[in-house]
Amino acid sequence: MRALVISDIHANSIALKAVLDAAGKVDAVWCLGDLVGYGPDPNETIEIIKDLPNLICLLGNHDAAVLGQIRLDAFNREARESIEWMQSNISPDNLFFLKMLPEKHVIGQVTLVHGSPRNPVWEYILDVHTAADNFPFFGTKVCLVGHTHLPVVYIHSTDKGTVNWALLPVGEKYVITDRVILNPGSVGQPRDHDRRAAFAILDTYRMTWMPERVEYDINEVQNRIKSSGLPTRHATRLGDGM
Q: Which residues bind Zn ion (CB under 5 A)?
A: 8, 34
- b/e burial code for range 36-49 (CB count within 10 A of at least 16 → b): bbbbbbbbbbbebb
Handedness of CA 230, 147, 238, 6 (dihedral sign): negative
Indicate the residue among 117 and 185 with the shorter CB distance to Zn ion: 185
- Give yes or no for a contact between 32 and 4, defined as CB atoms under 8 angstroms apart: no
Question: Measuring CA to CA, how many Å separate 87 from each of 10, 80, 99, 235?
Answer: 14, 11, 13, 19
**9 vs 142, which CB is nearer to Zn ion?**
9
Q: How far is the CB of 37 from Zn ion (least distance, A)?
A: 7
Name which of 8 and 212 has its Cβ closer to Zn ion.
8
DSSP string of 21-42, one letter each residue: HHH-S-SEEEE-S--SSSSS-H
- CA 222 vs. chain centroid, Å, equals 20
Q: What are phi and psi of 117, to 5 degrees?
A: -65, -25
Distance from C-alpha of 132 to C-alpha of 138, rounded to nearest angstrom: 12
Least separation in angstroms between residue 186's CB and Zn ion is: 6
- Name which of 36 and 180 has its Cβ closer to Zn ion: 36
Based on the number of CB atoms within 10 Å of its own CB, is 2 exposed (0-12), middle (13-18) or buried (19 or more)? middle
The least CB distance from residue 231 to Zn ion, in Å, is: 15
**Whole-number minimum distance, CB 173 to Zn ion, in Å?**
26
Q: How many CB atoms lie within 10 A of CB 25?
A: 7
Which is nearer to Zn ion, 73 or 159 (by Cβ)? Answer: 73
Q: Please identify, using beta-carbon distances, which residue of 82 and 94 lies nearer to Zn ion.
A: 82
